[in-house]
Amino acid sequence: MSQGNEILNIILGIFLLFGLHLLAVGIIFLLGWGYGLIFGYSNYYYLGIWIIGSWGFFLWQMLYVIPLCIWLRRQQRLAMMKGVIIGAVITALLNGTCFLLLFTNR
């Protein structure tokens, strides 16, 4: 495999993970919205679903990153798997940084 092809597959893996992140965020949003439609928006419990979903996004991410990496490894697409892992680490670092910025004492 050429160096340029491997870099392209790594970038494709990062974009694949970004697309899955968008799907996960959409599902979390729809869960909160559906809860608000069913039980009403006056109690603000739907905001709790969105907050818990965003705080635990690192854990939600593991639900689809680990099976995706296993599947890519079985398909012998190691460069794309590297891109997925790089994207997952970047997401975890960004999520952790935002969490620390919000909840540390100044």
The pTM (predicted TM-score) of the whole model is 0.83
What does the pLDDT look like over 41-94, one tens digit per residue? 777 788 888 888 887 787 888 899 999 999 999 999 999 999 999 999 999 898
Which region, left, alpha or beta, applies to residue 105 given φ > 0 means left and ψ of -120 to 50 means alpha? beta
3-state secondary structure the chain: CCHHHHHHHHHHHHHHHHHHHHHHHHHHHHHHHHHHHHHCCCCCHHHHHHHHHHHCHHHHHHHHHHHHHHHHHHCCCHHHHHHHHHHHHHHHHHHHHHHHHHHCCC
Residue 106 pLDDT greater than 70, yes or no: no
For position 35, what pLDDT does the model report?
A: 86
